[in-house]
Amino acid sequence: MALMTGKEYEESLKKMKMRIFLFGEEMETAVGNPILQPSINSIKATYDLAHMPEYEDLMTATSNITGEKINRFTHIHQSAEDLVKKVKMQRLLGQKTAACFQRCVGMDAFNAVYSTTYEVDQKCGTNYHENFRKFAAYVQENDLVVDGAMTDTKGDRSLAPSKQADPDLYLHVVERRPDGIVVRGAKAHQTGIVNSHEVLVMPTVAMGPDDKDYAVSFAVPLDSEGLVMVVGRQSCDTRKTENTTLDVGNDVYGGMEALTVFDNVFVPNDRIFLNGETEFAGMLVERFAGYHRQSYGGCKVGVGDVLIGATALAAEYNGAEKASHIKDKLIEMTHLNETLYCCGIACSSEGTETASGNYLIDLMLANVCKQNVTRFPYEIARLAQDIAGGLMVTLPSEKDINHPVAGAYIKKYFAGTSTTPIENRFKIMRLIENLTMGTAAVGYLTESLHGAGSPQAQRVVISRQSNMPGKKALAKAIVHIED
């Protein structure tokens, strides 16, 4: 199959029989559900932009496996230039959707598993890398969405996976058969999972010898028997069911997360990429985390571009755009946003080739990128709310605005500048609300803090990568200290 269109992608989801629970009800498909359709629309954008000539260079690549033209979200990075294009693509999609477009986790898992399986095979004589290459070729040829799954629910964080009171609190192998394995457990906070075709599972922490059953990586279709998804709630989510567009803020695009349960799911041998090799669990976690921390230097920057633009419009509609302090705050928002982008481009440009042939970002700079992302979007959001003013959160509903009595008062007393249509002012206020505290805030703020690991996880890697002995040696050399 050639590159799918967004419509073809949507039709492909309808053919799958997933088990999805939302608000206490089981549904046959996410397609058409008012809560979930915006997240599907965001993924549709990753397909449709790939067909536009002006975005072809960023949105597509040539497969190192098949030699065919593929969507970049299924690509194995072949150069530092590929890593840079990835970040630029993510910024573009953030600008186009102002939401999480949900394919980054799968792309990052693809590249982490690709290089790690090669090194496992080299040491252990396994066949995981060839298994993964066949899986990757299948995904590329069919232009599928793959959701990467790393985060276990973890239970008692002070205990290793194999020491938990309930062994299922980390996903693990419960049976090994001649034709494959059976796994049980759950992966939490799975962005875009109900909108995906396949799930690529990885361990969530480095592991010791006792954790052999937990050191497992594999891929299965999302309509596999035993897979159950429970969609998480988001702030203001039921506004999408009220048949209004203004109150939603962004009525086309959005995101979603779900708890994904593996209740005795069978995995055939040719879909297994790690099975008990505990010494490689940490490598896989570190590489995936590095790639995904790089991603935030693109996607959050694109959404930030939209938020900065909306804030500038709010100032204009309020008649405050010429005030010096407003100008200075917009400059600060831009400075913070571009700093994030600099980090994403830097860790990509410094990428190096792995033993398998694909390219890995500079881990130190990728973690610096994500450490900044845990902070700067919150400051950008604070400044946006500062400039927008209180109307952002006290604006009456669209139904009140359109009411013959209440609406007249609302439009009279909430008017801005005389040259601004009041509907435009209301739309921008709702967009800022959506991005900083509504459904989109999950993707822009909470994901910025916790996605790809907690802030402390990045600081651990920064410490490990800091080469402090080397820095001490530089200081000694300057002042002629000899050991």
343 catalytic per annotation: no
Residue 212 lies in domain: 6-277
Q: CA 108 from chain center: how many Å? A: 9
| Choice among 116, 191, 374, 436 that is catalytic | 191
Q: Which residues, in sequence order, are CB contacts of 330 under 8 Å at separation 6+?
A: 308, 311, 312, 315, 383, 387
pLDDT at residue 145, as a whole number: 98
Q: Are residues 135 and 47 in the same domain?
A: yes
Instruction: Give the domain-ending residue among 242, 259, 277.
Output: 277
104 catalytic per annotation: yes
CA 65-66-67 angle, to 5 degrees, is: 100
| Choice among 60, 74, 97, 100 that is catalytic | 100
In-domain check, residue 389: yes
In-domain check, residue 254: yes
Locus of tokens 């976690």: 285
26 catalytic per annotation: no
299 catalytic per annotation: yes
pLDDT at residue 29, as a whole number: 93
In the predicted model, residues of the chain with pLDDT beneath 50 are: none
Q: Across the strands, what pairs with 229?
A: 20, 260
Instruction: Give the domain-ending residue among 238, 253, 277.
Output: 277
Q: How far apart are CA 99 and CA 90, in angstroms?
A: 11
C-beta separation of 155 from 167 below 8 A: no
In-domain check, residue 332: yes
Sheet holding 25-27, edge to edge: 25-27, 20-22, 227-231, 258-268, 180-187, 172-177
5 catalytic per annotation: no
Q: Are residues 209 and 341 in the same domain?
A: no
| Choice among 74, 151, 299, 439 that is catalytic | 299
| Choice among 114, 253, 296, 341 that is catalytic | 296
In-domain check, residue 478: no
In-domain check, residue 473: no
Task: Give tens-digit pLDDT for 425-434.
Answer: 999 999 999 9
Whichever domain contains 55, its CATH number is: 2.40.110.10
| Choice among 97, 292, 311, 444 that is catalytic | 292
| Choice among 47, 151, 214, 257 that is catalytic | 257
Q: Are residues 222 and 332 in the same domain?
A: no
Locus of tokens 């008649």: 319
Phi and psi at residue 126, in whole multiples of 5°?
-85, 180
Locus of tokens 């041998």: 269
Whichever domain contains 405, its CATH number is: 1.20.140.10
Instruction: Give the domain-ending residue among 277, 305, 328.
Output: 277
Q: Which residues, in sequence order, are CB contacts of 38 under 8 Å at separation 6+?
A: 99, 240, 250, 251, 252, 253, 254, 255, 439
pLDDT at residue 89, as a whole number: 98
> How many C-alpha atoms does 155 have within 13 Å on its Cβ side?
16
Q: How far apart are CA 439 and CA 313, in angstroms?
A: 21
In-domain check, residue 220: yes
Q: Are residues 86 and 199 in the same domain?
A: yes
Q: Across the strands, what pairs with 219?
A: 200
Q: Are residues 229 and 362 in the same domain?
A: no
Q: How far apart are the first and last CA of the chain?
A: 64
Q: Binding site membership: which residues?
A: 191
How far are the Cα atoms of 215, 301, 308, 373 from residue 330, in angstroms, in the given order?
47, 15, 7, 18
Q: How far apart are CA 129 and CA 144, in angstroms?
A: 20
pTM: 0.96
Phi and psi at residue 159, in whole multiples of 5°?
-110, 145
Phi and psi at residue 268, in whole multiples of 5°?
-70, 155
Q: Binding site membership for FAD: which residues?
A: 191
100 catalytic per annotation: yes
| Choice among 97, 104, 277, 316 that is catalytic | 104
In-domain check, residue 475: no
In-domain check, residue 476: no
Q: Are residues 217 and 292 in the same domain?
A: no
Q: How far apart are CA 213 and CA 387, in angstroms?
A: 53
pLDDT at residue 1, as a whole number: 61
pLDDT at residue 19, as a whole number: 97
